Amino acid sequence: MTDPARDTVSALRVLVYSDHSDTRAAVIRALGRSPDPDLPELSFVEVATAPMVFAQLDAGVIDVVILDGEATPAGGMGLAKQMKDEIDPCPPTLVLLGRADDRWLADWSRADATATLPVDPITLSTTVVELLRNAEL
């Protein structure tokens, strides 16, 4: 079903959470403005604290969330779990892992997808495009 309000939006909004500005910048560089020709351009909302993650989500304008699982003091896996418990509907969520072996923790957090740090541009963009295509935008 088409949402008329969504039709007026020119870009999909990607929230990128990390306490490290270098990690946020790496994610944004990896995705670029147009990772897929069939999707609208991306616009990025960078946040460094958990309260700002929820402030942005409460505003209802985020299409996909990328959380740094290694962030401190609030890690991305804990935030993903809290989001899934408290926000309905919750946007698709990707958690960046320090180790691929931590996928089981991301499963606990109910993240929709994972990628590993350091950021692999091809893997990250492929995963985010898949999340956006499968989302009810």
Query: What are the pLDDT digits (tens) for 22-35?
Result: 999 999 999 999 99
Of 63, 53, 55, the closest CA to residue 17 belongs to: 53
pTM: 0.91
pLDDT at 106: 87
Domains defined along the chain, listed by start: 9-134 (3.40.50.2300)
Residues of the chain with pLDDT under 70: 1-9, 136-137
